[in-house]
Amino acid sequence: MKILEIRENTASIRSPIRNAVIDFSQMTISVVALITDAVRDGRPVIGYGFHSNGRYAQGGILRERFIPRLMAADADGLLDEHGENLDPFRIWDCFMRNEKPGGHGDRAVAAGALDMAVWDAAAKTAGLPLWKLLSERYNGGRFDERVAIYPGGGYYYPGKEVAQLQAEMRGYDEAGYRVAKMKIGGADLDTDLRRIEGALQVLGDGARLAVDANGRFDLPTAAAYARAIEPYGLFWYEEPGDPLDYALQAELGAIYPRSMATGENLFSTPDVVNLIRFGGMRPELDWIQADPALSYGLTEYLRLIETIESLGWSRRRLMPHGGHQLSLNIAAGLQIGGTESYPAVFQPYGGFADDIPIENGTTRAHDTPGIGVELKAEMFSELRRLLET
């Protein structure tokens, strides 16, 4: 078996929404197709990958460094010990050759897209859904039948008033979600409190609503919001300060007695280790949102799970950002806490298989080989068009 070709392209996921820090009017992602000479069910095995929203397409890194390194490598050196399937760890080591440690940024994003295509191809070659392959290889055959999911939403749409936010929350409730999330920090505190109260009129219980400041606040502002929202008993208070300001996170953890979540902008295991060591994160309360499709891929995420467990954290406190099928496979097969979902935004890449329903805030993984991109029709046809497969 060998890799015949790796293609990449840039896909637009532009939309008029904004959070506290950025708008998404120019947002793009990289999409990748990894074409092999393996054939399953009469069709060539092609792995598809893309990275998550929030970071722009990384075609330069893919075209100039990662893809040429793989195509120049000895093909057998990229296979597992039986020579019958791709070895994602050997492939990862190959495309990351001559890359210095640290400085995890856009490179981690490029790796996330490419690594997803590798795992999709490996699972298809094995004839297994990715979650089942992960369960069998790395989790003693255990898996979760149902995976907890929640929609990332509640953005600041231009001109959006409380009534529109309520309509969005009602839609999530009717679609079967239990917990929903909304943005804060893009308006003043009084306005945000009115928006939160509006959302709670629909959802009822504070435990059904999470809020996300997208790293906007300095410590005094983050603390003022913490004091103001504490009585609502919210599901979590997300990314109050700069993602790398572990001192702010630690100070806030000392005064806010409820759950917090952060980590979507930490792109490596060493960064998450620093968050745990220096961010005052509370293993019984808080959530880590590192996103495998932004941070060197599933290959690195397997190392992340092992590392946080060695630091006394349960993998159930992992709830990745991103709302894509890779994290759903990881959640089901490796039994982490769950994953974000994007039923309404970042289409066609957000959300899961078209025909698998959401019930009581959970969904289930798919039954076909690979990550399941073929089961999301609009996304799959766009991937095939952009990558000419």
Where on the chain is the footprint of Mg ion (CB under 5 A)? Answer: 212
Give the separation between CA 80 and CA 229, rounded to whole angstroms.
51
Distance CA 264, CA 341 (A): 14
Q: Give the nearest distance from C-beta 50 to Mg ion in angstroms.
A: 19
**Least separation in angstroms between CB 90 and Mg ion:** 33
CB nearer to Mg ion: pick between 212 and 271: 212
Report the residue number, 243 or 333, with the smaller CB distance to Mg ion: 243
Residues 6+ apart with CB under 8 A from 358: 149, 175, 176, 177, 341, 343
Q: Which is nearer to Mg ion, 117 or 290 (CB)?
A: 290
Among 104, 124, 321, 366, which one carries the catalytic annotation?
Answer: 321
Q: From the CB of 373, what's the least distance to Mg ion, in Å? A: 24
Task: Give the nearer residue to Mg ion in terms of CB position, either 23 or 99.
Answer: 23
- Give, for 274, the enclosing helix (H) or strand (E): helix 269-278
H/E stretch holding 7: strand 3-12
Residues 129/364, Cβ–Cβ less than 8 Å: no
Positive or negative, the Cα torsion across 286, 238, 332, 309? negative
CB of 273 to Mg ion, least distance (A): 20
- Helices 297-310/269-278 angle, 10° precision: 30
Identify whether 321 is a catalytic site residue. yes
**Bridge partners for 161 per DSSP:** none
183 noted as active-site residue: yes
DSSP assignment string, 10-39? EEE---S-B-SS-B-TT-EEEEEEEEEEEE
Q: At closest approach, how far in Å is the CB of 265 from Mg ion?
A: 8
> CA torsion, points 194, 213, 23, 26, in degrees to nearest 10?
-150
52 or 85: CB nearest Mg ion: 52
Which is closer to Mg ion, CB of 126 or CB of 288?
A: 288
The distance of closest approach from Cβ of residue 283 to Mg ion in the complex, given in angstroms and rounded to an integer, is 20
- Vertex 328 angle, CA 166 and 50, to 5°: 95
Q: Which residue is nearest to Mg ion (CB)?
A: 212
- Of 104, 183, 366, 376, which one is the catalytic site residue? 183
For the CB of residue 212, give the shortest distance to Mg ion in the complex, in Å.
Answer: 4
Report in angstroms how near the CB of residue 168 gets to Mg ion at its nearest: 16
Pick the closer one to Mg ion by CB: 215 or 369: 215
Spatial distance between the Cα atoms of 344 and 238, rounded to a whole number of angstroms: 20
CA gap 376, 122 in Å, rounded: 19
- Exposure class string for 366-386: b at 16+ Cβ within 10 A, else e: beebbbbbbbbeebbebbeeb
Q: Report the residue number, 53 or 85, with the smaller CB distance to Mg ion.
A: 53
Instruction: Put the strands of the sheet holding 3-12 in their side by side order.
Output: 3-12, 28-40, 43-50
Distance CA 117, CA 123 (A): 10
DSSP 348: T
What is the rounded CA–CA span in Å between residue 1 and residue 83? 7
Provide the annotated active-site residues. Answer: 183, 321
